[in-house]
Structure 1
Amino acid sequence: MKFKLLILSILVSSSIQAQTNLNPGWEYFFKNNRTAARDFFTKAALKPAFSDEANVALSMMTEMDRPAKEGFNYLNKLSSTSKNPQPYLIALWSDLPNNASRIKTADQLEFYKKLAARKDVDGTINALAYASLGSHFEEKKQNTEADQYFNKIGEIENWLITGEYENISTSGFDKQYDDILAHPELNYVFTGKKNRKFSWRTVPYVRHDKWFDFTYYNTYENALQFAQTFVNAPASTTAQLRIGVSGSVKVWVNDQLLISESEERNNDLDAYIVPVKLNQGYNRVLVQIGESYAGRSNFMLRLTDTNGAPLNNLSTTSTPQAYSKETNPAPAQLKPVGFKYFEDALKAKPQSYLNQLMMAKLYLRLGNVFDARLILEKLKKRFPESTYLNLMMIELFAKADNRTGIETLREEIKTHDPECSLALELVYTEHFQQNDYVRAKEVLAKLEKNYGEDESVLMKKLNILGQEKKQPEIIALVEKIYPQYLSSADIVNLKYLIEVQIRKNPKAIDILQKYIDENNDYKAAKYVAKLHLDKGETDAGIDIYKKELANDPIGFSIYTDLAGIYYQLQQYDEAEKLYLKVLEIDPNNAFVYSQLGTLYNANKQKEKSVKAYEKSLQIDPNNYTVIQLLRTLQDKKAVFDYFEKPDVKAMASKAPSKTEYPDGQVVVLNNEVQKVVYENGGSEEKHFFTAKILTQKGLESFKEYAIPYNSDQNYAVEIAEVIKTNGTKVPAETNNNELVFTNLEIGDVINIRYKIENFHVGAMSTHFWDSFYFSDGLDNLNIKYSLLIHRDKAFKYVFSQQDIAPVKTAKDEFDLYIWEKNNQEALRYEDKMPPMDDVTNILYLSSIPDWKFIADWYDNIASAKARSSYEIKTVVNDLFAGKSNLDDLSKIKMIYNYIVTNIAYSSVSFRQSGIIPQNPATVVNTRIGDCKDVSTLFVSMCKEAGITASLALANTRDRGQNTLLLPSIEFNHCIAKSTIGGKDYWVELTSRTLPFNTFSNTFLGSNILEINKTSTALTKFNPGIRGKNMMGYKTEVKLENADMAVKETNWNTGSMSSYIRSVFNDLSSADQIKKMKEELTGVYPENEIYNLSFTNLNTSKSTSDTVGTACSYKLLNVSKSVAGMSIFSIPWSNKSYATALQVVSPRKFGIDLTQLFGVDESNQELSLELPTGKAMVQPFKAVQLSNDFVDFKLESVQQGNKLVLKRSFALKKDYVPLDKIDQFKAFYKEMAEADDQQLAMK
Structure 2
Amino acid sequence: MNHSRAATTVKPGRKLWRTRFKLPRKVLPFSPRISINEVRPTESIDAELQHWGEVILLSDLVAVLHRDGTITRRAHHISSLYANEALAQWDEVFRFYDRQTALHKIQTAKVYLPDGSQRKARKVIQPYGQIAIQYYPLRPGVTVELEEQQDFFTPDRITACMWGQEYLRYSLPCQRLRCTVAVSAPFRLQYQLHLTEQEPRTWKQGSYQIYQWDLHQLPGYETDDGTPHPRDVLPWVDFTTLSDWEPITQYYRQDLEPPASIPTQIQKLSEDLPRESESTEEKIYTLYKYASEDVRYGRHPSELNLEKTREVGSMLEDMRGDCKDKSALLVSLLRHQGIEAEIAVLLTRINGTVSFLPGARFDHAIVCVTFENGERLWLDPAAGPMTFKDIPYNDQGMQALLLKSAAGELTRIPSGGAESNHINRKCQGTLSADCSYRFATNVSTTGDTAMEFRLRYINRNEAYQSLTLEKELASSLTGAQIEAPQFLNLSDLSQPVSYSCQMTLDQWSRKIEDIILFRVPWIGAMHTVALVNVQKRNSALQAPWPVRFTDYHKIELPAGFQGYGLPYAQQYECEWGRYHVSISEDDSQLICCREVDHLGGIIREDQYLEFKKYWEQCTRADALDVVLMKTTNEHADTFT
TM-score normalised by the chain length of structure 1: 0.45
Q: Which residue of 2 aligns with 1:1053?
A: 446
Partners of 1:997 and 1:1026 within 8 A in 2: no
Q: Does the alignment pair 1:825 with 2:213?
A: no
Partners of 1:672 and 1:689 within 8 A in 2: yes
Give the counterpart of 2:77 among 683, 686, 689.
689
SS across alignment from 2:283: helix
Partners of 1:807 and 1:817 within 8 A in 2: yes
Partners of 1:869 and 1:921 within 8 A in 2: no
Q: Which residue of 1 aligns with 2:380?
A: 988
SS across alignment from 1:1229: helix
1:1182 counterpart letter in structure 2: A
C-alpha distance in structure 2 between counterparts of 1:886 and 1:1183, whole Å: 48
SS across alignment from 2:182: strand
C-alpha distance in structure 1 between counterparts of 2:453 and 2:113, whole Å: 52
Give the counterpart of 2:402 among 993, 999, 1010.
1010
Q: 1:1227, CA displacement in angstroms?
A: 3.6
- The 1:1208–1:752 alpha-carbon spacing in structure 2 relative to 1, beyond 3 Å, is same
Q: Which residue of 2 aligns with 1:1166?
A: 553
C-alpha distance in structure 2 between counterparts of 1:622 and 1:918, whole Å: 38
- Per-residue deviation, residues 673-715 of structure 1 (Å, max 9, x unmatched): 2222111321121223322222234345655656588999857
Q: 1:1109, CA displacement in angstroms?
A: 1.2
Q: 1:876, CA displacement in angstroms?
A: 1.6
Q: 1:1025, CA displacement in angstroms?
A: 12
Q: Give the number of the structure whose alpha-carbon radius of gyration is greater.
A: 1
Partners of 1:712 and 1:760 within 8 A in 2: no
Q: Which residue of 1 aligns with 2:456?
A: 1063
C-alpha distance in structure 1 between counterparts of 2:512 and 2:90, whole Å: 53
C-alpha distance in structure 1 between counterparts of 2:174 and 2:460, whole Å: 48
Q: Which residue of 2 aligns with 1:873?
A: 267
C-alpha distance in structure 2 between counterparts of 1:1064 and 1:1004, whole Å: 25
Give the counterpart of 2:180 among 772, 786, 796.
786
C-alpha distance in structure 2 between counterparts of 1:1172 and 1:954, whole Å: 60
Give the counterpart of 1:1111 among 490, 496, 501.
501
Q: 1:1138, CA displacement in angstroms?
A: 3.9
Partners of 1:905 and 1:990 within 8 A in 2: yes
Partners of 1:800 and 1:963 within 8 A in 2: no
Q: Which residue of 2 aligns with 1:884?
A: 276
Partners of 1:1043 and 1:1114 within 8 A in 2: yes
Q: In the TM superposition, what are the counterparts of 1:763-802 in structure 2 within 5 Å? A: 764-802=158-196
Q: 1:743, CA displacement in angstroms?
A: 5.4
Q: Which residue of 1 aligns with 2:114?
A: 725
Partners of 1:648 and 1:690 within 8 A in 2: yes
**Structure 1 stretches of 5 or more lacking a match?**
1-193, 197-616, 632-636
C-alpha distance in structure 2 between counterparts of 1:949 and 1:760, whole Å: 35
Give the counterpart of 2:364 among 958, 973, 992.
973
Q: 1:1070, CA displacement in angstroms?
A: 6.0
Q: 1:1000, CA displacement in angstroms?
A: 2.7
Partners of 2:109 and 2:144 within 8 A in 1: yes
- Per-residue deviation, residues 900-928 of structure 1 (Å, max 9, x unmatched): 22322226885255754444555334533
C-alpha distance in structure 2 between counterparts of 1:704 and 1:1169, whole Å: 67
C-alpha distance in structure 1 between counterparts of 2:16 and 2:475, whole Å: 56
Deviates more, 1:1015-1024 or 1:934-943: 1015-1024
C-alpha distance in structure 1 between counterparts of 2:483 and 2:103, whole Å: 58
C-alpha distance in structure 2 between counterparts of 1:678 and 1:1085, whole Å: 66
C-alpha distance in structure 1 between counterparts of 2:197 and 2:96, whole Å: 26
C-alpha distance in structure 1 between counterparts of 2:425 and 2:486, whole Å: 15
C-alpha distance in structure 2 between counterparts of 1:709 and 1:1029, whole Å: 43
C-alpha distance in structure 2 between counterparts of 1:674 and 1:1064, whole Å: 51
2:425 counterpart letter in structure 1: Y
Give the counterpart of 2:197 among 803, 813, 820.
803
Q: In the TM superposition, what are the counterparts of 1:103-114 in structure 2 within 5 Å? A: none
- Per-residue deviation, residues 388-434 of structure 1 (Å, max 9, x unmatched): xxxxxxxxxxxxxxxxxxxxxxxxxxxxxxxxxxxxxxxxxxxxxxx
1:780 counterpart letter in structure 2: C
Partners of 1:999 and 1:1027 within 8 A in 2: no
Q: Does the alignment pair 1:923 with 2:320?
A: no
Higher relative contact order, structure no. (Cα contacts within 8 Å, ≥ 6 residues apart): 2
C-alpha distance in structure 1 between counterparts of 2:316 and 2:99, whole Å: 25
Q: Does the alignment pair 1:844 with 2:234?
A: no
- The 1:1067–1:918 alpha-carbon spacing in structure 2 relative to 1, beyond 3 Å, is closer
Partners of 1:1008 and 1:1020 within 8 A in 2: yes
Q: Does the alignment pair 1:951 with 2:343?
A: yes
2:347 counterpart letter in structure 1: N
Q: 1:1094, CA displacement in angstroms?
A: 1.1
- The 1:897–1:868 alpha-carbon spacing in structure 2 relative to 1, beyond 3 Å, is same
- The 1:895–1:717 alpha-carbon spacing in structure 2 relative to 1, beyond 3 Å, is farther
Q: Does the alignment pair 1:1135 with 2:525?
A: yes
- The 1:723–1:758 alpha-carbon spacing in structure 2 relative to 1, beyond 3 Å, is same
C-alpha distance in structure 1 between counterparts of 2:169 and 2:87, whole Å: 21
C-alpha distance in structure 2 between counterparts of 1:1203 and 1:1216, whole Å: 37
SS across alignment from 2:529: helix
- The 1:706–1:899 alpha-carbon spacing in structure 2 relative to 1, beyond 3 Å, is farther
- The 1:1212–1:696 alpha-carbon spacing in structure 2 relative to 1, beyond 3 Å, is closer
C-alpha distance in structure 2 between counterparts of 1:903 and 1:793, whole Å: 44
C-alpha distance in structure 2 between counterparts of 1:626 and 1:905, whole Å: 43
Q: Which residue of 1 aligns with 2:249?
A: 855
1:904 counterpart letter in structure 2: R
Q: In the TM superposition, what are the counterparts of 1:671-690 in structure 2 within 5 Å? A: 671-690=59-78
Partners of 2:397 and 2:415 within 8 A in 1: no
C-alpha distance in structure 2 between counterparts of 1:712 and 1:1046, whole Å: 69
C-alpha distance in structure 2 between counterparts of 1:1025 and 1:915, whole Å: 33
Q: Which residue of 2 aligns with 1:284?
A: none
Q: Does the alignment pair 1:751 with 2:119?
A: no
Partners of 1:986 and 1:1023 within 8 A in 2: no
CA RMSD of aligned residues (A): 3.9
1:665 counterpart letter in structure 2: G
C-alpha distance in structure 1 between counterparts of 2:390 and 2:408, whole Å: 25
Partners of 1:831 and 1:1142 within 8 A in 2: no
Give the counterpart of 1:1028 among 420, 426, 431.
420
C-alpha distance in structure 1 between counterparts of 2:199 and 2:60, whole Å: 16
Q: 1:1178, CA displacement in angstroms?
A: 3.8
C-alpha distance in structure 2 between counterparts of 1:1091 and 1:721, whole Å: 66
SS across alignment from 2:73: strand
Partners of 1:850 and 1:1016 within 8 A in 2: no
Q: Which residue of 2 aligns with 1:487?
A: none
- The 1:1212–1:694 alpha-carbon spacing in structure 2 relative to 1, beyond 3 Å, is closer
C-alpha distance in structure 2 between counterparts of 1:1064 and 1:1095, whole Å: 12
| Higher share of residues assigned strand | 2
2:322 counterpart letter in structure 1: D
| Higher share of residues assigned helix | 1
C-alpha distance in structure 1 between counterparts of 2:420 and 2:313, whole Å: 33
Q: Which residue of 1 aligns with 2:618?
A: 1231
Q: In the TM superposition, what are the counterparts of 1:927-938 in structure 2 within 5 Å? A: 927-938=319-330
C-alpha distance in structure 1 between counterparts of 2:232 and 2:318, whole Å: 38
C-alpha distance in structure 2 between counterparts of 1:869 and 1:784, whole Å: 53
Deviates more, 1:952-961 or 1:796-805: 796-805
Q: 1:943, CA displacement in angstroms?
A: 1.6
C-alpha distance in structure 1 between counterparts of 2:519 and 2:468, whole Å: 24
- The 1:938–1:1089 alpha-carbon spacing in structure 2 relative to 1, beyond 3 Å, is same
C-alpha distance in structure 2 between counterparts of 1:653 and 1:1218, whole Å: 30
- The 1:920–1:1163 alpha-carbon spacing in structure 2 relative to 1, beyond 3 Å, is same
SS across alignment from 2:273: helix
- Per-residue deviation, residues 977-1006 of structure 1 (Å, max 9, x unmatched): 111232211101113321222123343222
TM-score normalised by the chain length of structure 2: 0.82
SS across alignment from 1:659: helix
Q: 1:861, CA displacement in angstroms?
A: 5.0
- The 1:732–1:1082 alpha-carbon spacing in structure 2 relative to 1, beyond 3 Å, is farther
1:1012 counterpart letter in structure 2: K
- Per-residue deviation, residues 567-621 of structure 1 (Å, max 9, x unmatched): xxxxxxxxxxxxxxxxxxxxxxxxxxxxxxxxxxxxxxxxxxxxxxxxxx97xx6
Q: Which residue of 2 aligns with 1:960?
A: 352
C-alpha distance in structure 1 between counterparts of 2:151 and 2:135, whole Å: 25
